[in-house]
Amino acid sequence: MPLTILLIDTEEERARALEEKLRESGFARVVRAQGPDLAAIVEREHPDLVIIDMALPDRDALEDIRAISSGRPIVMFGGTDDPTFVREAIAAGVCSYNLSGVALADLKPIMTSAIALFQRYRHVETELAAANALLDERRKLERAKAILMKDKRMTEPEAYRWLQKKAMNESRKLSQIVEDFVRAHQDAQREVKP
Amino acid sequence: MSDIVSLEARKSEPRLRIGILRLTDSAPVIAAQEFGYFADEGVDVELITEPSWANIADKLSFGFLDAAVIVPPLAFAIELGLRGISQPLIVPCGISLGGNTVTLERGLAARVRDAAQSLSMAQALAAQIRRREAPLPLGIVHAYSTHNLLLRYWLASGGIDLARAVKFTVVPPARAVEALASGQIAGFCAGAPWGEVAARAAVGTTVATSDDIWRNAPEKAFAVRRRWADDNPDLLKGAIRALLRAAQFCDAPENASYSAALLSRHRYLDTDSHAILASLPGGAVTSQNLSRFWRHAATFPWRSHAGWFLQQMARWNLIDDGQDHAALAARVYRPDIYRSVAGAMGLAVPLADSKAEGGHDKGWMLDAVPRPIAMGPDLFCDGTVFQDEAAPAAQ
């Protein structure tokens, strides 16, 4: 029997990938939804399972048991049966509600796919954030060197050594020294301007 | 080698991960973090802004958070495992009094206000509801919220039959303005600054505040996983000291604009600082809806507050009849911990764990050591006095 899954995710690419995967598996009808009136959508579609991105505020709208499930069970996937599994889901940032009381064994592969996808996206996000931070550090270092070369008439290697020495003397990271130095310079500039 | 040493060091000083929502009454926790009050106490705190109460509840339940600024009914729901796995919690201090608004779409609000000349605002709303065919759709932020309990209490006091005349819908506060504008709901009860945000967007008008329902009503509390508290008694005390310091800062009118600017930052409320300002002590020019963080013993975890929440949860079938309210309140609300921390700081501490709720129509003095505490009025809109029955007599 095909299950109906309500998928609530604003990350377009991830939602599409998950939808495709679930369709391939053949036992799921996927409905995608967003917006403020989720309770009405649940009433209309009667999904067996709701999968939702935990970063959305809409989870609270799914919480009101009587409003959306009219007496039917609504539990977070796994419940107390498999806390490790739920923990994995939370860590990945995805959550699900079993609305029709379908056997856990039938839902597990679906949630496993969702968790894997969310994990992968989270991983990409983390890597992206790390790459951006590194880029930002580099940019600030270039800026700090440029300031030193202009204000103190240093050469580029001299400017770099100056910053490195300062970091060593204060036993702090080079990136922190650079950050403070650039900010102090900007503050000083701002004070001069008005 | 140094890495290994630092890892070990971290193990002996665990982090306190506190979950907050985008609400004005997150102020003391944000101030304690940003001003280094937690750091002064040697408590390494990570503040995590969550998008939903459901996330706060699940992350507490599964140990992704150690503590949270929470609506007390939800703390009881987590303790009892009403929405999934249960997690024992304690409430060693309160966070705020007041701060919620009942905000209606502007047309309805105007009709209710006109009719409220001779009637109470709740009775006037009741009269408007009687003219309708369909139930009035009203938004609350969560079934286990102070908002749900206060709104129901107020509507019932106006003679409204909640089962027939009202349809409650859970709407996250950040979505409430949108839902009001689209007509999905005709009104909502939510914490500050969302009523003010709706007014500024010209879609809603506030017809009642927490104070109109229960003056100086308890609002948010600081809940900690009992296991974390048991494992880290000294850090818990340090965290409470920091919060009591921050509560005094946030309650001082002269600090309002500073706090509003801090809270409006992207990583916290990420919203108009003027809307936040209107709900801070000292920040309001026209608004009557203030959060109180320190005055009137706002941080004391009254067992009688717990008792009232549990009574109301039972009234609306949110908890089973069989629960022993007094035992549950005593297990979760911990004035003993509060007293040991605040007492050592030389702060005034109430002598009793419970008080009669609702008897005062004006300010009064509360028995406390080393000096009495000036309290505010605590009237309910229907004039009831709530007595915490099973509470032991004050010593």
- pLDDT per position as a tens digit, B236-251: 999 999 999 999 999 9
pLDDT of B370 above 50: yes
Q: What is the mean pLDDT of residues A36-55?
A: 86
User: What pLDDT is attached to residue A98?
Assistant: 84
pLDDT greater at residue A161 or residue A132 = A161
Of A97, A126, A155, the one marking the end of a domain is: A126
Here the CATH number for the domain that contains residue A59 is 3.40.190
> Which of B337, B333, B345 lies closest to B369, judged by CA?
B345
Considering the domain architecture, whether residues A146 and A121 belong to the same structural domain is answered as no
Considering the domain architecture, whether residues B184 and B285 belong to the same structural domain is answered as no
Least confident of B17-26, B111-120, B235-244, B357-366: B111-120
CA distance A58 to chain B (A): 7
Considering the domain architecture, whether residues B273 and B310 belong to the same structural domain is answered as yes
Considering the domain architecture, whether residues B223 and B348 belong to the same structural domain is answered as yes
User: What pLDDT is attached to residue B381?
Assistant: 94
**Share above pLDDT 90 across residues of chain B, in percent, rounded to a whole number:** 71
Considering the domain architecture, whether residues A109 and A133 belong to the same structural domain is answered as no
Q: What is the mean pLDDT of residues A53-69?
A: 76
pLDDT of B6 above 70: no
Residue A58 CB contacts under 8 Å (≥ 6 apart), including other chains: A8, A34, A36, A38, A52, B52, B172, B175
The encoded tokens of residue B331 equal 């297990």
pLDDT of B375 above 80: yes
User: What pLDDT is attached to residue A93?
Assistant: 92
Q: What is the mean pLDDT of residues B330-339?
A: 98
Q: What is the mean pLDDT of residues A125-154?
A: 87
The residues facing B350 across adjacent strands are B368
In this structure, the number of other CB atoms found within 10 A of the CB of residue B322 comes to 6
The residues facing B373 across adjacent strands are B366
User: What pLDDT is attached to residue A72?
Assistant: 58
User: What pLDDT is attached to residue A136?
Assistant: 85
- pLDDT per position as a tens digit, B26-35: 999 999 999 9
Please spell the DSSP secondary structure of B319-340, one letter per residue.
Answer: S-TT--HHHHHHHHB-HHHHHH
Separation between Cα atoms, residue A129 and residue B348, nearest integer Å = 47
Q: What is the mean pLDDT of residues B126-140?
A: 92
User: What pLDDT is attached to residue A69?
Assistant: 54
Q: Identify the band that residue B95 occupies on the pLDDT scale cut at 50, 70 and 90.
A: very high
The residue count for chain B: 395
- pLDDT per position as a tens digit, B224-279: 999 999 999 999 999 999 999 999 999 998 888 888 888 877 777 777 777 777 77
Would you call A36 and B170 a contact, using CB atoms and an 8 Å cutoff? no
Of A104, A126, A148, the one marking the end of a domain is: A126
Q: Identify the band that residue A194 occupies on the pLDDT scale cut at 50, 70 and 90.
A: very low
User: What pLDDT is attached to residue B1?
Assistant: 37
Considering the domain architecture, whether residues B266 and B344 belong to the same structural domain is answered as yes
With respect to residue B359, please indicate whether it lies within any of the assigned structural domains.
no
User: What pLDDT is attached to residue B138?
Assistant: 95
Half-sphere exposure of A47 (CA within 13 A, CB side): 26
Would you call B59 and A90 a contact, using CB atoms and an 8 Å cutoff? yes
Would you call A39 and B169 a contact, using CB atoms and an 8 Å cutoff? yes
Considering the domain architecture, whether residues A18 and A92 belong to the same structural domain is answered as yes
- pLDDT per position as a tens digit, A112-135: 889 999 998 888 877 888 888 888
Residue B70 CB contacts under 8 Å (≥ 6 apart), including other chains: B56, B220, B221, B222, B223
Q: How many domains does chain A have?
A: 2
**Share above pLDDT 70 across residues of chain A, in percent, rounded to a whole number:** 88
Would you call A60 and B141 a contact, using CB atoms and an 8 Å cutoff? yes
Q: Identify the band that residue A80 occupies on the pLDDT scale cut at 50, 70 and 90.
A: low
Q: What is the mean pLDDT of residues B326-352?
A: 97
Which residues form the domain of A81? Answer: 3-126
Q: What is the mean pLDDT of chain B?
A: 90
Q: Which residues of B touch A65 (CB under 8 A)?
A: 143
Considering the domain architecture, whether residues B253 and B108 belong to the same structural domain is answered as no
CA distance A24 to chain B (A): 30
pLDDT of B185 above 50: yes
- pLDDT per position as a tens digit, A1-30: 688 999 999 899 999 999 998 888 887 889
Considering the domain architecture, whether residues A17 and A72 belong to the same structural domain is answered as yes
Separation between Cα atoms, residue B271 and residue B22, nearest integer Å = 9
Q: What is the mean pLDDT of residues B41-53?
A: 94
Considering the domain architecture, whether residues B228 and B82 belong to the same structural domain is answered as yes
Beta-sheet strands, E only, within chain B = 16-20, 45-49, 67-70, 89-94, 100-105, 136-140, 166-170, 187-191, 204-209, 221-225, 349-350, 364-366, 368-369, 373-375
With respect to residue B178, please indicate whether it lies within any of the assigned structural domains.
yes
Which residues form the domain of B234? Answer: 2-96+219-353
User: What pLDDT is attached to residue A6?
Assistant: 92
Residue B308 CB contacts under 8 Å (≥ 6 apart), including other chains: B357, B386, B388
Here the CATH number for the domain that contains residue A136 is 1.10.10.10
Q: Identify the band that residue B4 occupies on the pLDDT scale cut at 50, 70 and 90.
A: very low
The encoded tokens of residue B25 equal 């009454």
Q: Which residues of A touch B175 (CB under 8 A)?
A: 36, 57-58, 61
Considering the domain architecture, whether residues B261 and B246 belong to the same structural domain is answered as yes
Considering the domain architecture, whether residues B224 and B345 belong to the same structural domain is answered as yes
Establish if A95 touches chain B: CB-CB under 8 angstroms: yes
Task: Give the residue from chain A lying closest to B176, CA to CA.
Answer: A36
With respect to residue B378, please indicate whether it lies within any of the assigned structural domains.
no
Task: Give the residue from chain A lying closest to B81, CA to CA.
Answer: A80
Considering the domain architecture, whether residues A50 and A139 belong to the same structural domain is answered as no
pLDDT of A193 above 80: no
Considering the domain architecture, whether residues A87 and A157 belong to the same structural domain is answered as no
Of the partner residues A36, A63, A90, the one whose CB lies closest to the CB of residue B64: A90
Both ends of chain A: CA-CA distance in Å? 72
Q: Identify the band that residue B2 occupies on the pLDDT scale cut at 50, 70 and 90.
A: very low
Q: Identify the band that residue B45 occupies on the pLDDT scale cut at 50, 70 and 90.
A: very high
Of B165, B190, B213, the one marking the end of a domain is: B213
pLDDT of B281 above 50: yes
Would you call B171 and A61 a contact, using CB atoms and an 8 Å cutoff? yes
Task: Give the residue from chain A lying closest to B87, CA to CA.
Answer: A80
Beta strands B16-20 and A75-76 are: unpaired
- Among A34, A50, A52, A60, most B C-beta atoms within 10 A, so best to mutate, is A60
- CB-based contact B49:B20 (threshold 8 Å): yes
User: What pLDDT is attached to residue B65?
Assistant: 97
Considering the domain architecture, whether residues A175 and A106 belong to the same structural domain is answered as no
> Which of B348, B359, B331 lies closest to B295, judged by CA?
B348
Q: How many domains does chain B have?
A: 2
Residue A96: phi and psi, rounded to 5, are -140, 155
pLDDT of A147 above 70: yes
Considering the domain architecture, whether residues B345 and B273 belong to the same structural domain is answered as yes
Of A106, A126, A146, the one marking the end of a domain is: A126
With respect to residue B82, please indicate whether it lies within any of the assigned structural domains.
yes
> Which of B95, B23, B81 lies closest to B52, judged by CA?
B23
User: What pLDDT is attached to residue B245?
Assistant: 97
